[in-house]
Amino acid sequence: MSRPTPNPRTAGALSGYTVVDLSRALAGPHAGQLFGDLGARVIKVENPASGDDSRSWGPPFVGPADDPQATYFFSCNRNKESIALDLKSEDGKATLRALIARADVLVENFRGGVLDRLGFSTATCLEINPRLVILSITGFGHDGPEAQRAGYDQIAQGEAGLMSLTGSGPDDMQKVGVPIADLLAGIYGAYGVLAALLERERTGRGKVVRTSLIAGMVGVHAFQGTRATVAGEDPRPGGNHHPSLSPYGLFHCDGGAVQISVGNEGLWQRFCAAFDLDPAAPGMATNSERVTNRPAVTAAIEDVFAAYESAALLEKLAAAGIPAGIVRTLPEVYDWEQALSQGLKITVDHPVVGPMDLPGPPVRFFDADAAGETETTVTEHLAPPLLGEHDAVIRSWLEG
């Protein structure tokens, strides 16, 4: 099935740029989706037999029983076109060469050596197009003693330490509820590509940008990383409470729970005044004391919170100027007026499923002058493509 309309990406910060996305599953496709959100033309190259691996990842599937569509695939392939190419065939190789010659960016997440064996090493790609920026995402890095290991998100979460920090306690290590290693590798990869495109403006030449799932994980260790490298500690899971701030986390109340963030001593004073607690009580006078005595602090807070249902408690916290919130389910998030106001849910028209809602792009753009701001965020989006949906359109463009 093919829609004859050419790619409508005519707005956005990357309008006029072309991205060839050879990647599959999640890390590379997520990076490609970010480029598409920014207005680039993203051409997804897929295996004609089965397409991207994630087309078969489910349930859930939606659409007709004889043509089920994986919602997983939808999560990382908006704003793309699809061309089906057998890269082992002469036609596939020739078409890919033509795409590379026209592209600004090439995204790939093959295991090391696969593209070389297909005849598209980084050197070859840059020979075809010296201005090309190549994004290569691997599991463990392209070099080093474990470079050839297959990269999967949960394995990376474990190997790069994130699971050692996540869970209800030291004996309950948990993965994050989304494939965060894949997502962060895609985000860091896109960040690297944008820097390389800026550098190309000065040098006229492209380059190779490399990142990995484990690099993405280490890149977000943040203060937990310096606890290990500088303080010599071995951070472990602490549940829903901050390891260096107190009170900061999830606290139970009458029939529910709220989250509070008391991030400085001024907030602690206001919090105690609102709930008739003694801010200078033994073990509670400073943040360090409260962290050390967290169980007692938590018990004291939940004791006063027990008199409030969550809605009333949030009102009282807001009146006192204490940052607070609830824990929403995903359906609640996508119905939340604040999320909707930020463009975090979009509607696209899929050729099989029809109109459907997707999570929206996380960045907005504005022009600003003395009169105020005018939003320039791209609001027209392409549905995730069918396998090979744009073969004819893309081949026509290459021949033009």
Q: Which tens digit of pLDDT belongs to each residue from 69-122?
A: 999 999 999 999 999 999 999 999 999 999 999 999 999 999 888 899 999 999
* Final residue in a domain of this structure, among 291, 310, 325: 325
CATH classification at residue 76: 3.40.50.10540
The pLDDT value recorded for residue 400 is: 82
Q: Into how many domains does the chain fold?
A: 2
189, pLDDT greater than 80: yes
Domain residues for the domain of 130 are 18-221+376-399
- Other beta carbons within 10 angstroms of residue 210's beta carbon come to 17
Same domain, 296 and 260: yes
Domain presence at residue 1: no
Count CB neighbours of 324 within 10 A. 20
pLDDT in tens, 278-287: 999 999 999 9
Residue range 221-270, pLDDT digits in tens = 999 999 999 999 999 998 999 999 999 999 999 999 999 999 999 999 99
Residues 209 and 268 reside in one and the same domain = no
Per-residue pLDDT at 4: 38
Q: Using 50, 70 and 90 to split pLDDT, how confident is the model at 9?
A: low
Instruction: Clarify whether residues 80 and 194 are in a common domain.
Output: yes
Same domain, 22 and 100: yes
Cβ proximity of 171 and 162 under 8 Å: no
**109 lies in the same domain as 201:** yes
Residue listed under structure tokens 């006029």: 16
My answer on whether 128 and 44 are in the same domain is: yes
The pLDDT tens digits for 191-221 are 999 999 999 999 999 999 999 999 999 999 9
Residue 330 is assigned to a structural domain of this protein: no
Picking from 146, 293, 265, 156, the residue whose alpha carbon sits closest to that of residue 218 is 156
The residues annotated with a catalytic role in the active site are 182
Question: Could you tell me if residue 353 is inside a domain?
Answer: no
Contacts of 156 (CB under 8 A, 6+ apart): 139, 140, 181, 213, 214, 216, 217
Residue 318's CATH number: 3.30.1540.10
| One domain, residues 263 and 192 | no
Report pLDDT for 6. 45
88, 133: one domain: yes
Q: pLDDT confidence of 44, banded at 50, 70, 90?
A: very high
Instruction: Judge whether 12 lies within some domain.
Output: no
Is 260 within a domain?
yes
User: What's the confidence (pLDDT) of residue 8?
Assistant: 55
Predicted local distance difference test score (pLDDT) of residue 224: 96
Residues 310 and 211 in one domain: no
> Is residue 292 domain-resident?
yes
Round the average pLDDT of the chain to a whole number and report it: 95
CA-based torsion, 388, 392, 394, 399: positive or negative: positive
- Residues 199 and 267 placed together within one structural domain of the fold: no
Whether residue 200 lies inside any domain: the answer is yes
> Are 275 and 308 in contact, with CB atoms under 8 Å apart?
no
Q: Which pLDDT score, from 0 to 100, does residue 1 have? A: 33
| Residue 253 shares a structural domain with residue 167 | no
Do residue 162 and residue 97 come from a single domain?
yes
The pTM of this model reads: 0.92
Q: Is residue 111 part of a domain?
A: yes
In this prediction, what percent of the chain has a pLDDT beyond 90?
Answer: 95
